[in-house]
Structure 1
Amino acid sequence: MKKLNSQEIAVKLQDFPNWNFLNNGIEKHFIFDNFVKTMKVINAIAEVAEAQNHHPEWSNVYNKIHIRLTTHDCDGVSEKDFELAEAIEKIIVKHF
């Protein structure tokens, strides 16, 4: 898996509003109406992540999720991270 450089990441992030490049990963915070909706999002993302065999680093407190994507195999951001970020955005738009 090829590690993307900072210029490549910056160009790709233009298509991902509110995602930020920090510490060799891309990150975003999400806020939902309540805990139940938040857990539905987490479960939907978990299914996609498992299918892609690419798992996020994340945390959850009540109605908030912090998601961080990085590719450990290349010690940085790769296309896999943007593929999962795109899937996450589609889940949120479609279901929530």
Structure 2
Amino acid sequence: MAEVLDTAQVQAALAGLTDWSGDSTAIVRTVTFATFPDAIAVVTRVAMAAEERDHHPDIDIRWRTLTLRCSTHSAGGTTQRDIELARRIDEIIAAQV
């Protein structure tokens, strides 16, 4: 099972990510796109990346705004798997904007 990162480890990892915040329970990023179809295109690409990793974020869609929340439910908090998924999500978002 993946090990939950402590708050200091999460903060250090977040320094290498774009616009993420969080702690040992979860990490979160909110981003607004130019159009609703742009937002949905990102959701689709994130879904595919999540399936490849068998690790799925919580995604909240509000028109053009997405909030992505990563937490390893089976471990009870933020793990390295979440950091890696967040890094991939950052790449997907950067390619869309």
Contact conserved, 2:28 with 2:70, CA < 8 A, in 1?
Answer: yes
TM-score by length of 1: 0.94
User: Residue 12 in 1 paired to residue 13 in 2?
Assistant: yes
Between the aligned partners of 1:54 and 1:12, the Cα distance in structure 2 is 18
Q: Mapping of 1:5-84 within 5 angstroms?
A: 5-22=6-23, 24-84=25-85
Give unpaired runs (5+ residues) of structure 1: none
2: CA distance, partners of 1:41 / 1:17: 15
Structure 1 residues 5 and 23, CA, compared in 2 at 3 Å: closer, same or farther? closer
Offset of 1:29 from its aligned partner? Answer: 0.3
- Would you say how many aligned residue pairs link Structure 1 and Structure 2? 96
Structure 2 contact 7–24 (Cα < 8 Å) conserved: no
1:88 matched to which residue of 2? 89
SS of 2:39's equivalent in the other structure is helix
Shift of 1:22: 4.9
Q: Detail structure 1 runs of 4+ shifted over 4 Å in the superposition.
A: none
Deviation at 1:95, TM superposition (A): 3.3
* CA distance in 1: counterparts of 2:12 and 2:19, whole angstroms: 14
Identity over the aligned pairs, expressed in percent? 25
Judge conservation of contact 2:28–2:67 (CA < 8 Å) in 1: yes
Equivalents in 1 of 2:87, 2:55: separation in Å? Answer: 13
**1:14-69, CA deviations, whole angstroms, 9 ceiling, x for partnerless residues?**
11132111571000101000111110000000000010000011110110001100
